Amino acid sequence: MTLIRRILLRLLTMAITLFGVAVIVFFVIRVVPGNPIAMMLPPGAGEEDIARLKALYGLDKTIPEQFVIWLSGVLHGDFGTSITTRQPVLGLVLSRLPATIELSVMALVVAVIIGGALALTGTRRRGTRTEGAIDVANGMALSVPDFLWGLVLILLFGVLWPVFHISGRVSPALDLPFSTNFYLFESVLRLRFDIWADLVSHMFMPSLALAIPLAAIIAQLLKQSLKETMNLDYVTLARTKGYGENHVITREALPNAVLPTLTLIGVQFTFLIGGTVIIERLFSYEGLGNMAIDAVINRDLPLIQGIVILFALIFTVVNLVVDLTYAALNPRLRHG
Amino acid sequence: MSFLTIENLSAFVGPAPILRDVSLTVTAGEVRGLVGESGAGKSMIGKAVLGTLPPAVRVASGRIVLEGEDLLAMRPRDRRRVIGARAALIPQDPLTALNPSRRVGPQITNRLVDILGWTRHDAQVRALELLDEVHIPEPERVMRAYPHELSGGMRQRILIASAFAAEPRLIIADEPTTALDVTVQKQILRLIREMQARHGTALLFVTHDLGVVSKICQSLTVLYGGKVLEDTRVGDFFAGPTHPYSAALLAATPKYTDPDASLTPVPEAVIDGVRAEIEAFDRMHGHV
Ligand SMILES: Nc1ncnc2c1ncn2[C@@H]1O[C@H](COP(=O)(O)OP(=O)(O)O)[C@@H](O)[C@H]1O
Ligand SMILES: [Mg+2]
């Protein structure tokens, strides 16, 4: 199958997936109890006020009718208006998206660095106490979910040894000369390393909390694949050529051992993004996840829909990228 | 002068001996057969020389001397360099001995560039020459191919070319034809012999096939249970082996004009005799 056909097929699947998600979310949030209008009005508002507001937000129609209206809006780039803030959903969501992307990517990078380093060290020292210690650490990291790591980190770096910022995305006192909300990215481009350091200090704990479980998964799987690969004949042959352990691990074994881990990272990265919802809340980080929780509390139906669709879009795009990377790295798929 | 001398090598897995006081030599330009049934320890001897023994295997005593250098006494790093420069392996299974994610070219040239310090260009020229020597058509194309695009026979030719790349003094070939199609086996055997003769390399040829030994070896070592039973010239061996096990092995070998036929079993009584001999050896050396 050619690359183009492969991509087209995936795009089609993505569209179907997104539609399915939209349908489910739309109906579920309208069926569960909780009335967005009631929450907006002052106590003692009359039936008339309620009816008027309902009509304003289109909530007086049947659910299928509402869906058709919403969907045709979406297809024209209009995701509706947030009930609580009365601003367009799309603008709200897009303003928060960069914060979540930066946090997730940072967490992913941290996870890959820590997990990769542990896997390589464990392989290099296989059969020794170092490997045993790595296995124990992995087990611990995996048996505790990310938000509990968040609490542990707050205790460590917020209370006992307060060197990092506990809450928020950036110190309010700082003047931000940025034209996008990709603060971290822009601070590097504009060489504002003072701001960059402040951002990193804020991101340190949330990204580490998100990264720890993924790092453990990467370390475990990659180490296992590496150790299996190390016994293969071409690795032995490389040793007879005069290569040492480090070269053999990184140059001969790693490129072949990394593929299963890569696929797994793709799947796990979507879980990590899901984890941002609670982690952002825990650290009052102004991202999409934090906004999602507010939206649910306020029963802000259009905003919930917008956020969920965006999350679903991110997940499917991540999966597509992983698939294509996998194909690019594996010569057998590339030429087969 | 002998290129390779193994003296009284003993190795264990846990308490179990897998090499029992093994001694053998390979002299300049000689082809020595290393014969024994599966599990006899043939590959372990090759791995002990090349420094690729599995971690579970412990060398308890003995010396391995390559061109005057005592390999087991060297620092691992120095030892790797010596092996990489002076010895090479032709592996058993060409399907698994090439790295699937790297092109063929670098897999031939990497030792020359990384270990022996050649320029990339010189190594490239040398690799093309070698591919030509092992009768690979369109060497330029093959250099750019990935292993999975090539047949088993082609891959074994590439591995042979790679083994001879640095003009090693010693090559260890570990059953280099057993994983191949019968028709390809003969070509590969002929090729190894041709390359060995042209380059004057000493060759330790591991096989369980006496027919092959009669064709390409000058001397041979018969191994059973990690113990050397017979070490002799090929001519003398086929004229009349001294050890009963070798005699039975020879009798059990079909016409060695027909190397495809498999071994028929050695009689039980002979095996029992060998086992008793090994037990006596173990008792004498205090192994359980
Ligand atoms: N990785 C290993 N770990 C422990 N023992 C091994 C290993 N590989 C082989 N052995 C044992 O070492 C002995 C010799 O094996 P080997 O040299 O591979 O025999 P062969 O003569 O068939 O090449 C066998 O008894 C085998 O069970
Ligand atoms: Mg073997």
Chain B nearest-CA distance from A237, in A, is 7
Hey, what long-range contacts does A242-249 have (CB within 8 A, 24 or more apart)? A242/B80, A242/B81, A242/B83, A242/B84, A242/B85, A242/B111, A242/B114, A242/B115, A243/B80, A243/B84, A243/B114, A243/B115, A244/B76, A244/B77, A244/B80, A245/A124, A246/A124, A247/B114, A249/A120, A249/A123, A249/A124
Taking residues A188-196, what's their average pLDDT?
94
In the numeric block, which tokens belong to residue A175?
């003047």
Q: Cβ A242–B51 below 8 Å, yes or no?
A: no
In the numeric block, which tokens belong to residue B36?
């024994």
Q: What is the CATH number of the domain that holds B192?
A: 3.40.50.300
Q: Cβ A247–B98 below 8 Å, yes or no?
A: no
Does residue A293 surpass a pLDDT of 70?
yes
Q: Give the residue, out of B6, B10, B12, B18, with the most ligand 1 atoms within 8 A of its beta carbon, to mutate for a pocket test.
A: B18
**If we measure between CA atoms, which residue out of B128, B132, B81 comes closest to residue B108?**
B128
In the numeric block, which tokens belong to residue B263?
């071994």
How far is CA A101 from its chain centroid?
7
pLDDT tens digits, B209-251: 898 999 999 999 999 999 999 999 999 998 887 888 888 888 8
The pLDDT-based confidence of A336 (bands split at 50, 70, 90) is very low
**For chain A, percent of residues with pLDDT exceeding 70:** 98
Euclidean distance between the first and the last CA atom of chain A, given in angstroms as a whole number: 9
Q: Cβ B101–A256 below 8 Å, yes or no?
A: yes
User: Where in the sequence is the domain holding A142, given as residue range(s)?
Assistant: 96-301
Residue B273 domain-assigned (yes or no): yes
* Cα–Cα dist B257/B16, whole Å: 38
Does residue B258 surpass a pLDDT of 60?
no
In the numeric block, which tokens belong to residue B227?
């113990």
Residues of chain B in contact with residue A236, where contact means CB-CB under 8 angstroms, are 52, 89, 91
Taking residues A35-61, what's their average pLDDT?
78
* Cα–Cα dist B262/B244, whole Å: 20
Identify the pLDDT of residue B146: 95
Q: How many domains does chain A have?
A: 1
The pLDDT-based confidence of B252 (bands split at 50, 70, 90) is confident
Does residue A1 surpass a pLDDT of 90?
no
Residue with tokens 């480090």: A246
Identify the pLDDT of residue A82: 92
**Cα(A79) to centroid of ligand 1, in Å?**
68
What secondary structure letter does DSSP report for A288? H
pLDDT tens digits, A239-253: 999 999 999 999 999
Higher pLDDT: A36 or B178? It is B178
Burial class of A105 by CB neighbour count within 10 A (0 to 12, 13 to 18, 19+): middle
Residue B124 domain-assigned (yes or no): no
Q: How many domains does chain B have?
A: 1
Does residue B254 surpass a pLDDT of 70?
no
**Residue B248 half-sphere exposure toward CB, CA atoms < 13 A:** 18
Residue B115 domain-assigned (yes or no): no
Which residues does residue B222 pair with via DSSP β-bridges, in sequence order?
B35, B230
Residues of chain A in contact with residue B84, where contact means CB-CB under 8 angstroms, are 240-243
CB B170 within 8 A of CB B204: yes
**What is the pTM for the complete model shown?**
0.86
**Cα(B39) to centroid of ligand 1, in Å?**
6
pLDDT tens digits, B43-84: 999 999 999 999 899 999 999 999 999 999 999 999 999 999
Does residue A335 surpass a pLDDT of 50?
no
Residue B176 domain-assigned (yes or no): yes
- Is the CB of residue A125 less than 8 Å away from at least one CB of chain B? no
User: Where in the sequence is the domain holding B229, given as residue range(s)?
Assistant: 2-93+170-284
Residues of chain A in contact with residue B96, where contact means CB-CB under 8 angstroms, are 232-234
Residue A8 domain-assigned (yes or no): no
What DSSP string runs through A208-273?
HHHHHHHHHHHHHHHHHHHHHHHTSHHHHHHHHTT--HHHIIIIIIHHHHHHHHHHHHHHHHHHHH
Per-residue burial over A314-334, b = 16 or more CB atoms within 10 Å of its CB, e = otherwise? bbbebbbebeeeeeeebbeee
Residue B120 domain-assigned (yes or no): no
Q: What is the CATH number of the domain that holds A275?
A: 1.10.3720.10
Q: What sign has the CA pseudo-torsion A216, A219, A222, A227?
A: negative
Does residue A334 surpass a pLDDT of 60?
no
Q: Whose CA is closest to atom 14 on ligand 1?
A: B41
Farthest-apart Cα atoms in chain B, separation = 60
How far is CA A77 from its chain centroid?
24
Q: What are phi and psi of A68, to 5 degrees?
A: -60, -45
**Cα(B92) to centroid of ligand 2, in Å?**
8
- The region of weakest confidence among A98-107, B1-10, B17-26, B136-145 is B1-10
**If we measure between CA atoms, which residue out of B202, B200, B224 comes closest to residue B25?**
B202
Residue A197 domain-assigned (yes or no): yes
The CB of B48 under 6 Å from ligand 1? The reply is: no
In the numeric block, which tokens belong to residue B242?
């001294």
In the numeric block, which tokens belong to residue B186?
């003969």
Residue B232 domain-assigned (yes or no): yes
Residue B267 domain-assigned (yes or no): yes
